[in-house]
Structure 1
Amino acid sequence: MDILIKAEKLGKSYRQQQALANISFELKAGQILGLLGHNGAGKSTLIKSLLGAHDYDGELAIFGLSPKKDRALIVEDLAYISDVAVLPEWMKVSQLLKYMSGVHPNFELERMRAFLNKTDIKSSSKIGSLSKGMKVQLHLAVVMSTDAKVLILDEPTLGLDLIYRDTFYRYLMEWFHDGDRALIIASHEVSEVEHLLSDVLILRKGEMVLQAPLEQVEAQYTQLTVEQHNLAQAQALKPIYQKSGLGLHSLLFENVSREALMPHGKISQPGLAEIFIAKQQEASK
């Protein structure tokens, strides 16, 4: 399967501050990469590099092209949705459709209209008058109507209520499975996107602290819940993270066999949110 994005030792500095350091990953069709990290972790800097919005160190290829030199060609098949409205608010929805038909070679007007028919968005409405949820729906409709190969989403549902979030991800996944596409979802709300992901890349202060397929991540990490009298023995196995409450202690282990953990307490599979927190804490030690 063709590699859509390949980054090797990607880096970016602003004056004396290192924003990204040695970021390497590949993205192929069928993958959904979770780009996870707290605010300031480097997610936006990495996305701007992918979009060709600034210079960077290292090697980066999108569809075999350079974002520095071939941005116009790349954006025909790469799309981006952020947490802030970027559509022209002075336009009517009908004007946006006409504009997209004229400027994007892959835009399918009838597909756009079919999607909008599923929503409450009227073609006569001015974009600036739409609610945040409707604006996000409209932006997604534009992207889905261009048949993009790669879609980058940067906190796309921030500020939306649960109904709009559910609708957004439902339409997104229907579109994703309708072609050979790849997604990058940047978020710090790990629990919201975990069930969508095939791969994960976790950043902390511009550095990768974890990058792997999700099934590999699940195989590497085990959670152990112990009572106080078993805590010392469990700690001797060197957990990467620990929290306590209601007389019980929860410890997270990386690459420790379940056979070694079983005598000390109850074993369970940690969620990605627990692993995310653990890797953030581990990296700060």
Structure 2
Amino acid sequence: MSALVSVKHVSKQYSGRDITQGDVLTDISFELKPGQVLGLLGHNGAGKSTLIKAMLGAHQYQGQISVNGYEPITQRDKMMESLSYISDVNVLPEWMTVAQLLAYTEGVHPGFKRSKADALLTQTDIKPRTRISALSKGMKVQLHLAIVIATNTQILILDEPTLGLDLVYRDTFYRHLLEWFHDGERVLIIASHEVAEIEHLLTDVLILKHGRAVMQTSMESISEAYFILDASDDFSGQIEALNPISSQKGLGTTKWLLSRDCAYQVEGMGMVYKVRLADLFLALQREAV
């Protein structure tokens, strides 16, 4: 099965900028095939938005990017026929009504199915005659997703899509998103710093820090490569000698994030737990690059 998204040795430098200030990219590579969900993680300034803009053809970059076989800058019109993007800020025309937006999309996008969008919106509180400017942020995100789902989009990029939404809107958003994803051969990229919220959706993860990849792996391999040990502080000296990735002190015990290679050396020292992506993300963000 061929990759729908291919990023090879992509870098982006801004003249006059210190690389330690972030918002740059250095030698990023990955491939995504149908059925993969990539979590693009990192704090503000890590390079997430810079990478997304390169994939959307919004600025020049070094390296190679292919989205469904098309280069983002020189073949952007063809690429966008199978790619959609939802950001954390509203990009829908505020002056239109919901019905006008759907009619406009139907007229300009040959793959848009109005009946599918209407069916999705009947499951929400969004009314056709309502102006987009009068919708809440949660409703705008739902409307945007309904339009995406009603097209022949194969690749969807989400950039902090649920930022500022309450739990009800978040739950509805992700439910509709998963229905779309499992209804065909799709690729999904979710850029976020809300790691715990998206962890259960991901098949793969790319963690950026100062524009560099500090971790790039599948979700399956994380539990195979790391574990958490909750051990009495009596063992702290022995565990510290194993160069733990991170530690979190409790009352008389400490939780250590360790490489699986250390498992036999700490056997019997305490309780062993499966590592969460959020634990690993925080540990890597604390480390110096």
Q: Same fold (TM over 0.5)?
A: yes
- The residue that corresponds to 2:233 in the other structure is 228
CA RMSD of aligned residues (A): 1.0
Deviation at residue 40 of structure 1 after TM alignment: 0.6
The 5 Å alignment of 1:1-285 reads 1-17=1-17, 18=19, 19-284=24-289
Letter in 2 for 1:14: Y
The alignment partner of 1:283 has SS state of: coil
User: Matched residues in 2 for 1:151 and 1:242: separation?
Assistant: 36
The answer on whether the counterparts of 2:242 and 2:262 sit within 8 Å (CA) in structure 1 is: no
Aligned residues: 284
Gaps of 5+ in 1: none
Deviation at residue 59 of structure 1 after TM alignment: 1.1
1:95-117: CA deviation from partner (whole Å, max 9, x where unpaired): 10111011112111111111111
The alignment partner of 1:256 has SS state of: helix
Taking structure 1 as the reference length, the TM-score comes to 0.97
User: Matched residues in 2 for 1:267 and 1:70: separation?
Assistant: 51
Sequence identity (%): 53
User: Matched residues in 2 for 1:178 and 1:261: separation?
Assistant: 45
Mean alpha-carbon deviation: is it higher for 247-256 or for 33-42?
Answer: 247-256
Letter in 1 for 2:11: G
The answer on whether the counterparts of 1:221 and 1:252 sit within 8 Å (CA) in structure 2 is: yes
The answer on whether the counterparts of 1:233 and 1:264 sit within 8 Å (CA) in structure 2 is: no
1:158-181: CA deviation from partner (whole Å, max 9, x where unpaired): 000001001100110011111110
Gaps of 5+ in 2: none
User: Matched residues in 1 for 2:136 and 2:232: separation?
Assistant: 50
User: Matched residues in 2 for 1:27 and 1:144: separation?
Assistant: 20
Runs of 4 or more above 6 Å deviation: none
The answer on whether the counterparts of 1:76 and 1:105 sit within 8 Å (CA) in structure 2 is: no
Deviation at residue 282 of structure 1 after TM alignment: 2.2
User: Matched residues in 2 for 1:211 and 1:22: separation?
Assistant: 13
